[in-house]
Amino acid sequence: MKVGIDKLHFATSHLYVDMAELATARQEEPDKYLIGIGQSRMAVIPPSQDTVTLAANAAAPMLTAADIEAIDLLIVGTESGIDNSKASAIYVARLLGLNRRVRTIEMKEACYAATAGLQLAQDHVRAHPDKKALVIGSDIARYGLNTPGEPTQGGGAVAMLVSADPQVLALGTESCVLSEDVMDFWRPLYHTTALVDGKYSSNIYIDYFQDVFKGYLQKTGMQPEDLAALVFHLPYTKMGLKALRSALPLVDDAQQASWLAHFEHARQLNRQVGNLYTGSLYLSLLSQLLTDDKLKAGDRLGLFSYGSGAEGEFFTGELQPDYQAGLDVGLPQRLARRQRVSVSEYEKLFNGQLAWRADDQTIDVADDPHRFVLTGQQDEQRQYLDREA
Ligand code: COA
């Protein structure tokens, strides 16, 4: 039985900052951000969006009434959640109008958690093929203004519907995982921005990729050439390129050229959004599938998921005949239509998020066009609005 990703959708904000403009404001060469980091635009998440609204905005457009009826598992992977106790998945389930008999949990392991969710969802559907699982990676990447990590911020959510006979990608049952206690990136409870040893984390990422990629090939007997393309977690798109380059010595010149050409498609949309932590690998998958017309049904893709701290996993999936039908086909146009904000507007929005305080707060949602918005906090409870309710 084939099980895997049946539908794949994405949501971010309607605002972005231009990376060349940000570089100039930070007294850096624009090419450092555009080429050295590999980012052109960075999503600016306004105070009216949080990981709950981003998740609901990603999933709602792709779900039919039949999907909603069949979903009995909702997993939200996030490392920028809004509560230390209650799962964001509970809010998301309510906003999406899911069945009350749904199991709802939030998972955390830095940028890796959505992959853990996807694998658990796969096992769940294999055990209950008439059911569907919804897995969402939703995050706002915040390193802080004027920090080295600033050009690798961004945010958004990717929603994946997991089912039997999936339209998009049939997942393999084998994978190779590595997890060890590494202090490359973390966020103590009292911090709103991440602590990171940037260079160290980039090196660990490559080490993990090498370990689980080679471990996967050894375990399955698969050859590197069996993989039409490699898709990476992209905290910034140069990171994936570095990992890909580290794999090139394993294949001949023609395969190297092919992987490099496919990678340009895999990073196209991430280049316009920036980091979204848990959803980043899956935005790259969407980018690959939406923009790369050299791929065809039956092609096997290799996926590398990485979460600092650290955990990595390499797994593969086979493209299905109707894969375009399950994708968020309007996404490239939506990203192109976003509104540019200046660096000072971005800084104001960055600092304007709901404060971690107990008092009632109101957020102006007038300029936010999304269906689900955060309107503020009352009696220490976040207030969400569904504009279609
Ligand atoms: N033109 C082209 N490239 C340029 C350039 C220019 N004018 N100026 C600098 N660069 C290149 C550098 O050579 C470097 O490339 P390399 O990594 O291939 O050597 C790149 O731009 C970044 O420059 P660097 O000086 O290393 O940047 P930095 O010290 O400001 O930090 C990060 C970069 C990624 C470490 C930092 O943004 C960060 O900490 N990010 C968050 C951590 C992260 O995302 N980790 C990934 C694992 S999850």
**Domain positions in the chain:** 3-168+328-386, 170-323
What pLDDT score was predicted for residue 245?
A: 98
What pLDDT score was predicted for residue 74?
A: 98
What pLDDT score was predicted for residue 272?
A: 98
The verdict on the CB of residue 196 being under 6 Å from ligand 1 is yes
Q: Which CATH number does 3-168+328-386 carry?
A: 3.40.47.10
Q: Please tell me the distance from the alpha carbon of residue 85 to that of residue 87, in angstroms, as a whole number.
A: 6
| Confidence grade of residue 165 (pLDDT, cut at 50, 70, 90) | very high
| Confidence grade of residue 210 (pLDDT, cut at 50, 70, 90) | very high
Q: How many angstroms is it from 52 CA to the middle of ligand 1?
A: 31
What pLDDT score was predicted for residue 315?
A: 98
For residues 131-150, average pLDDT: 97
For residues 334-347, average pLDDT: 98
Are 242 and 202 spatial neighbours (Cβ–Cβ below 8 Å)? yes
Q: Is 242 annotated as a binding residue?
A: yes
| Confidence grade of residue 270 (pLDDT, cut at 50, 70, 90) | very high
pLDDT in tens, 80-99: 999 999 999 999 999 999 99
What pLDDT score was predicted for residue 141?
A: 97
Q: Is 208 annotated as a binding residue?
A: no
For residues 353-373, average pLDDT: 96
The verdict on the CB of residue 308 being under 6 Å from ligand 1 is yes
Q: Is 219 annotated as a binding residue?
A: no
What pLDDT score was predicted for residue 284?
A: 98
Q: How many angstroms is it from 341 CA to the middle of ligand 1?
A: 24
Query: Residue type at 214?
Result: K
Q: Which of 9, 14, 106, 111 is catalytic?
A: 111
Phi-psi region at 61: left, alpha or beta (left = phi > 0; alpha = psi -120 to 50): alpha
The verdict on the CB of residue 152 being under 6 Å from ligand 1 is yes
What pLDDT score was predicted for residue 324?
A: 97
| Level-2 CATH architecture, domain 170-323 | 3-Layer(aba) Sandwich (3.40)
Helix (H) and strand (E) counts in the chain: 13, 17
Active site residue 111: yes
Within 10 angstroms of residue 111's Cβ, the number of other Cβ atoms is 30
Active site residue 233: yes
For residues 96-114, average pLDDT: 97
Q: How many angstroms is it from 240 CA to the middle of ligand 1?
A: 13
What pLDDT score was predicted for residue 209?
A: 98
Q: How many angstroms is it from 163 CA to the middle of ligand 1?
A: 39
For residues 29-52, average pLDDT: 98
Query: Residue type at 78?
Result: T
The verdict on the CB of residue 30 being under 6 Å from ligand 1 is no
What pLDDT score was predicted for residue 70?
A: 98
Q: Please tell me the distance from the alpha carbon of residue 210 to that of residue 229, in angstroms, as a whole number.
A: 16
Return the DSSP state at 109. B
Mutate to test the pocket of ligand 1, among 31, 34, 37 (most ligand atoms within 8 A of CB): 37
What pLDDT score was predicted for residue 261?
A: 98
By CB neighbour count within 10 A (0-12 exposed, 13-18 middle, 19+ buried), where does 235 fall?
A: buried
| Confidence grade of residue 224 (pLDDT, cut at 50, 70, 90) | very high
Q: Please tell me the distance from the alpha carbon of residue 88 to that of residue 95, in angstroms, as a whole number.
A: 11
| Confidence grade of residue 222 (pLDDT, cut at 50, 70, 90) | very high
pLDDT in tens, 272-300: 999 999 999 999 999 999 999 999 999 99
By CB neighbour count within 10 A (0-12 exposed, 13-18 middle, 19+ buried), where does 358 fall?
A: exposed
For residues 341-364, average pLDDT: 96
What's the chain's average pLDDT? 98
Percent of the chain whose pLDDT exceeds 90: 99
pLDDT in tens, 247-257: 999 999 999 99
What pLDDT score was predicted for residue 290?
A: 98
pTM of the model: 0.98
Q: Which of 14, 79, 124, 150 is catalytic?
A: 79
Q: Which of 14, 233, 262, 370 is catalytic?
A: 233
Q: How many angstroms is it from 305 CA to the middle of ligand 1?
A: 20
What pLDDT score was predicted for residue 17?
A: 98
Backbone angles phi, psi at 312, to 5 degrees: -135, 155
The verdict on the CB of residue 203 being under 6 Å from ligand 1 is no
